[in-house]
Amino acid sequence: MTDTIATNESILVIGGGISGMTAALEAAECGKQVILVEKTPSLGGRVSQLYKYFPKLCHPTCGMEINSRRIKANKNLRVITMAEVDEITGNAGNYNVSITKQPRYINDNCTACGECANAVEAKFDNEHNYNMDKRKGAYLPFNMAYPQRYVLDSGIIGTDDADKAKAACRYDAVDLDMQKETVQLNVGAVIWATGWQPFDAANIQPYGYDRYDNVITSVEFERMMDDFGPTGGKILRPSDNKEAKNIAFIQCAGSRDRNYLKHCSRICCMASLKQTTYVREQYADDGKATIYYIDIRAIDRFEDFYAKVQADTNVSFIKSKVASITEERGTGNPVLHGVNTEGYDRYDNAHDLVVLAVGMQPSVDREKFPVEVITNEHGFIERPEGSTGMFAAGCASDALDVNRAVQNATASALRAIQVVNRFSKTEV
């Protein structure tokens, strides 16, 4: 299909995480035509994989529900999932965009009844849970997934499972012949809300993420807290599925380090402070959390939260960049080695589980944008300058927490509106 479905008064938002959803909604709720393109099968991005937000300890799915409702009700906003932008040409006020849409193999008829998932057998790594468990080859990515429509994993196409899924569907929603499509759009402004990815912890060799089962990342730890997640909502050690009660959090795992990410990822201090409350939530006084840190960057009023966690006698703080981790024989306990820089004491501390507070890396490699985009050396898109019609929103622009990402995305929506208003013939 090659169809023009937008005009140069439209705004294209690339990325359907919370920043993209926000930028798209704020512009659409101002009466603008918006196309929101998302690479995965559903909206929500990284926040949909979080258990709670700091510092309020409220659930991200609450805001997701509001945002999905806003999207459903807004006729100015069109969502295209499983799609990526291949090419952008033109200038501010008039961009031509080429988008490739991967086949979902499920059409709009889908009622999300789940019969296809019941019918198929093959299982695949579950991306939503950072591959900590498996999902079926026909699946709804998660409970809150929007669009609420199943997906067939391309891995079952051509197998019996595909036929089973098709046979199970009574609504003719399974379309095994669905092909990759190219969609051409003409838009006035573009917002890059391409977000972040966790830094690959396996790169930090001394920490042994790839060698030790009981060394996990902060994003994986979040998934453990979901009742419908890989551990059914329990903090369990991957090595033996035993409850992990004595947990070490290592800050700046891959951040503020010239060997890995030079920048500070901003969220990790608060995220680990927050995660110590998960330990308390599950184990009360039986749980122990230790944070190994360089600086605790609980900026502005987050300080209140830091103070609250500091007051928890089961949480201790060690100012130290952990040198290395080894595994204790027999127990599988990770042992942290290093020097506490407050007093220069050497330590060899055994814990049940280590959580690496991994850094934020831009999702799109700076070399891989399909059009010239000005990024800094860390790969984040720089603030707009001159008469561009392309803007970053959220973590594509910097390592930001959710609140700041949304603030930034709201600002980007206005920057895009300025462009389309400037080029539109109609008077504002």
Partner 1 sequence: MADTKIGAYICKGCGLGERLDTDKLESIASGEGKAAICRQEEFLCQQSTVDKIQADIDNEGINRVVIGACSRRAKFEAFNFESTCVSRVNLREGVIWVRPDTEEAKEATQEMAEDYIRMGCTEVKFMSPPSASQEQSVNKHLLVVGGGITGMTSAIEASKAGYQVSIIEKTSQLGGVAGQLHRKVPSRMPYASPQDNGIDDLNNQISANSNITVYLNSTTTKTSGAPGRFSVDITTESGSTTTENFGAIIQASGFTPYDANKLPEFAYGKTPDVVDQLGLEKLAQEANGTPIKRPSDGKVVENVMFIQCAGQRSDKEDHLSYCSGHCCSTSIKQAMYFKESNPNCDAAVLYTDLRTPGAGGEDFYRSAQRKGVTFTKGIAKEVVAGDNQHTIKFTDLILNDEVDLAVDMVVLATGMLPNSGVNIDAPPAEEGSVEIPVESILNLDYRQGKDMPQLVHGFTDSHFICFPYETRRTGIYTAGPVRRPMDINQAIDDATGAAMKAIQAIENSALGKAAHPRSGDLSFPSFRMEGCTQCKRCTVECPFGAINEDEKGYPSYNESRCRRCGTCMGACPVRVISFENYSVDSVGQQIKAVNVPIPDEDDENAVAKPRILTLACENDAYPALDMAGMNRIQHSAYVRIIPVRCLGSVNTIWVTDALNSGYDGVVLLGCQKGENYQCHFVKGSEIAHYRMSKVNDTLTTLNLEKERVATYEVAITDIQRIPQLIDDMAKTIEDIGTSPLKF
* Residue with smaller CB distance to partner 1, 335 or 402: 402
User: At residue 255, what are phi and psi to the nearest 5 degrees?
Assistant: -105, 165
Q: Which residues contact 160 (CB under 8 A, 6 or more apart)?
A: none
Cα–Cα distance, 196 to 179 (Å, whole number): 29
Instruction: State which residue, 296 or 335, has the beta carbon closest to partner 1.
Output: 296
Which DSSP category does 25 fall into? H
Q: CA 357, 362, 368, 374 torsion: positive or negative?
A: negative
Q: Please, which residue, 96 or 388, has the CB nearer to partner 1?
A: 388
| Residue number, 321 or 422, with CB nearest to partner 1 | 422
246 vs 421, which CB is nearer to partner 1?
A: 421
Tokens of 193: 């809300």
Name the nearest CA neighbour of 251 among 195, 199, 326, 214: 199
Q: Which is nearer to partner 1, 214 or 265 (CB)?
A: 265
Shortest distance in whole angstroms from residue 319 CB to partner 1: 8
With respect to partner 1, which residue has the nearer C-beta, 65 or 86? 65
193 neighbors 364 (Cβ within 8 angstroms): no
85 pairs with which residues across the strands? 99
Distance CA 118, CA 367 (A): 42
Nearest approach in angstroms of CB 422 to partner 1 is: 8
d(CA 79, CA 36): 5
**Integer-rounded Cα radius of gyration of the chain:** 23
Closest CA to 419 of 32, 76, 89, 77: 32
Smallest separation, CB 191 to partner 1 (Å)? 12
Closer residue to partner 1 (CB): 319 or 337:
319
Helix axes 60-73, 18-28, angle to 10 degrees: 40
Neighbours of 357 (CB within 10 A): 28
Closer residue to partner 1 in complex, CB, 285/300:
300
Q: Which of 91, 98, 54, 118 is nearest to 266 (CA)?
A: 54
Q: How many other C-beta atoms are found inside a 10 Å radius of the C-beta of residue 31?
A: 8
The least distance separating partner 1 from the CB of residue 365, rounded to whole angstroms, comes to: 15
Minimum distance from CB of 147 to partner 1 (Å)?
9
Amino acid at 330: G
The contacts of residue 64 (CB under 8 Å, 6+ apart) are 18, 44, 47, 48, 144, 146
